[in-house]
Amino acid sequence: MYKSIKIADTTREERIEIIKTSLAYNEDSCEGSVGFDAMTMYQPYIDGEKEIAQINMEFRSGLVK
């Protein structure tokens, strides 16, 4: 069954696991497989400030570096 990833439906710990799992986060290298520190990019989601979709949209538009 699909579980919501919205901030209102998750705990901080669940959001950390969502990011780690979806980006194949490698703690040994401090980077995900995407080649940059994705945990930093998604920190506003983890902290409950912005949804993943909003961060992705900002990244694609060049607002997040």
Quick one: pLDDT at residue 36? 62
Residue 1 domain-assigned? no
Residue 28 domain-assigned? yes
61 or 32, higher pLDDT: 61
When divided into structural domains, the chain yields a total of: 1
Residue 65 domain-assigned? no
Percent of the chain with pLDDT over 90: 51
SS (H, E, C) 1-53: CCCCCCHHHCCHHHHHHHHHHHCCCECCCCECCCCCCHHHHCHHHHCCCCCHH
Q: Does the pLDDT of residue 31 top 80, yes or no?
A: no
Mean pLDDT of all residues belonging to the chain? 82
Q: How confident is the model at residue 63 (pLDDT cuts 50, 70, 90)?
A: low
